[in-house]
Structure 1
């Protein structure tokens, strides 16, 4: 694809959608220059959203190792997640894309629709071992644009001491009815029920989605009876005092801080809090978020995809494919996902993770039930839907509108 053709593909709609998607997720400076490129040799550039890892980290050592195995030198730049998305679009416009791009999964379909990424059919990247539900986050229009390097998702952390004092057997919590009954017992015992994030950003939508999907609702029908039941559940928890009003402003971090106080029975949060969970000073457990009628609800997948951007020099793809394959190989995924606190995207590596740490079992169960936010071929539509969803949640929980009114308005706005 020549530069003028690429610029035509980068439409205003794509730019706007990416801006919304990028602002929804969690910096570094550095040049992404790909000057003096030569296919199969020289320097290959890799951009990632991990600015926290310096040159001496295990992550950068892996990048260098993969480069050495491919016979090239790696020039790596780590960006903040939102900054990376914007830098990628700018680089594509200038015909100066990195050779390998590791990017937050909701952004993949937007970049794909903008013509920035090659497909796995084009670049011969093997995705056969990846769990289909995780791979779906990088699919658009029936094509796949990369492979996940790892995944995280949401589940319920619980305080064993609080539940014991309230007479709650965690094994009894299997659906919404039993969870709500547990919260009632906890409140009666003088403790606090559940904390989560319902803030008016993507974090709020991210945390609401397991309940939304757990009710059987679809993102294309925000005003369905199932969607109303999910929002009504949260609203009723606030009304009954099972959840605090602070959820309206809680980020996932401040919500975790409430749970870490030791007063709450449950906290909806993610794998990224595992290290902090070991420091809370009380015994905790993890439970996949239950669906309305039982079973595990689909929670949204977090995590990044390894992708190969479009290049004017198509001869570079073969080496880029070697780099991407090295980064996502079975041998390397285990160490990488341990570093990133991710669940691996393949069953083979997931089994190794559980063998090494049995406490990861509920997280792997949650990831196996998880769903990409842009799955169902939503692509660039998702950010618009998500914005209306978090607005509806805010409106209903604050008492400004009923769940029915808020979701009806949200669906109308998306249309």
Structure 2
């Protein structure tokens, strides 16, 4: 069997064992007889509205961990998402790396030899319990350094009231032709400002782009991991978007290259958007605004795509302070089902392990997240294991909108991004 499939199989068989090995896991890290140790943890704040959930989560978790491991203390520093990656980079550059960082990317640190690998830190049941696509995305040169902390997938959201006015059933959205037909009816029969919102602005264009590339049958990389951004399938995908949605004025008053995801989501909560691709947090925002919505998988060119887009945030252990055993014990504790499920549930996100995913799937309290959860095992993540990805992603953010603008040429724009990607890849 393939490596990813094999890992999922191992995860399934090991999940039950992981649930019964709390005592073993608690003892596998220890303090190594080196006396009391204080671990430094820097973590991202997921409370976008300024709440205290992230702080309370880590305070409760570290208190429980320290009770089980009297020789280890954990000093927690919470930083906003706009600052956390930069703060950790500054700490590393100053020679004061944290022991553990929960941030957005791991590849540069792994390439510089600053991280412990997963097998140096985690017990076998914990490491084998990660969902296959997430574990694969945490690898650099076939070695896992990035430990997935939390995940999400994307679905097509639609406004049920607008769909009823247009005489469209969301369940009928299976192909791109269905999507175009629905957008045309929304434009003709409703006051929707954005029949289909297409945010290709610089905020997160790389994610919107990847969703469309996957639905068109390709993606950012080929089967051996080389960039394939300007493949014929990808060019055809953006040509379809330009010809059938943008040029037909079905994407609203703001040019896709100038529309950011946040603004598109806000317009959806105002009832101005018929359809758009969204992540789980949009459910809560739309619900609070009183927008009745439905969700389906993003239609593909000829039907449901083989893969959907997945996204993960990462946690990692730094070598600098030499606390491998203590960091390992802490991370084994972090990935217990109780902790994984609590954080994911509190933040409308998805668990990263097989056993926690199965538990969420069986829990009616998480019913709204289950459609996203269903997409995760077959999802494809951006090529975050490439040190070139940050540069390529930035190129996509700032350039891809030009592919669908009036007079734009998708083949030319994707070709330019593809050439830049090849240069960046060769420099890895």
Query: Which TM-score band (shorter chain)?
Result: 0.7 to 0.9
Using the TM superposition, give the Cα deviation of residue 297 of structure 1 relative to its aligned residue in structure 2, in angstroms.
5.8
Map 1:4-83; keep pairs closer than 5 Å: 39=34, 41-50=36-45, 52=47, 53=52, 57-71=56-70, 72-81=72-81, 83=83
CA 1:180–1:369 in structure 2 vs 1: closer, same or farther (change >3 Å)? farther
Q: 2:403 aligns with which of 390, 396, 412?
A: 396
Kindly indicate whether residue 367 of structure 2 is the aligned counterpart of residue 358 of structure 1.
yes
Contact 1:119 1:143 in 2 (8 A): yes
Unpaired segments of 5 or more residues in structure 1? 1-37
Map 1:13-412; keep pairs closer than 5 Å: 39=34, 41-50=36-45, 52=47, 53=52, 57-71=56-70, 72-81=72-81, 83-104=83-104, 107-125=105-123, 126-192=126-192, 193-201=195-203, 203-219=204-220, 220-236=227-243, 237-246=245-254, 247-296=256-305, 298-313=307-322, 316-354=323-361, 355=363, 356-374=365-383, 379-412=386-419
Contact 2:46 2:81 in 1 (8 A): no
1:286 aligned counterpart, secondary structure: strand
1:14 corresponds to which residue? none
TM-score, length basis structure 1: 0.82
Aligned residues: 372
CA 1:77–1:244 in structure 2 vs 1: closer, same or farther (change >3 Å)? same
For 1:230 and 1:258, locate their aligned partners in 2 and report how far apart those are by CA, in whole Å.
25
1:148 aligned counterpart, secondary structure: strand
1:338 aligned counterpart, secondary structure: helix
Contact 1:222 1:389 in 2 (8 A): no
1:294 aligned counterpart, secondary structure: coil
2:19 corresponds to which residue? none
Contact 2:395 2:417 in 1 (8 A): yes
For 1:160 and 1:249, locate their aligned partners in 2 and report how far apart those are by CA, in whole Å.
26
Unpaired segments of 5 or more residues in structure 2? 1-32, 221-226, 423-428
CA 1:86–1:399 in structure 2 vs 1: closer, same or farther (change >3 Å)? same
Using the TM superposition, give the Cα deviation of residue 81 of structure 1 relative to its aligned residue in structure 2, in angstroms.
3.3
Contact 1:214 1:291 in 2 (8 A): yes
For 2:284 and 2:133, locate their aligned partners in 1 and report how far apart those are by CA, in whole Å.
26
Using the TM superposition, give the Cα deviation of residue 331 of structure 1 relative to its aligned residue in structure 2, in angstroms.
1.7
Using the TM superposition, give the Cα deviation of residue 167 of structure 1 relative to its aligned residue in structure 2, in angstroms.
1.6
1:19 corresponds to which residue? none
Contact 1:39 1:319 in 2 (8 A): no
Using the TM superposition, give the Cα deviation of residue 128 of structure 1 relative to its aligned residue in structure 2, in angstroms.
0.8
Using the TM superposition, give the Cα deviation of residue 287 of structure 1 relative to its aligned residue in structure 2, in angstroms.
1.4
Contact 2:134 2:312 in 1 (8 A): no
CA 1:272–1:234 in structure 2 vs 1: closer, same or farther (change >3 Å)? same
For 2:300 and 2:41, locate their aligned partners in 1 and report how far apart those are by CA, in whole Å.
39
For 1:54 and 1:343, locate their aligned partners in 2 and report how far apart those are by CA, in whole Å.
16
For 2:241 and 2:34, locate their aligned partners in 1 and report how far apart those are by CA, in whole Å.
54
For 1:39 and 1:399, locate their aligned partners in 2 and report how far apart those are by CA, in whole Å.
66
Contact 2:307 2:379 in 1 (8 A): yes
For 2:229 and 2:337, locate their aligned partners in 1 and report how far apart those are by CA, in whole Å.
39
CA 1:70–1:40 in structure 2 vs 1: closer, same or farther (change >3 Å)? farther
For 2:86 and 2:155, locate their aligned partners in 1 and report how far apart those are by CA, in whole Å.
30
CA 1:277–1:347 in structure 2 vs 1: closer, same or farther (change >3 Å)? farther
1:174 aligned counterpart, secondary structure: coil
For 2:253 and 2:404, locate their aligned partners in 1 and report how far apart those are by CA, in whole Å.
8
CA 1:327–1:156 in structure 2 vs 1: closer, same or farther (change >3 Å)? same
Contact 1:51 1:78 in 2 (8 A): no
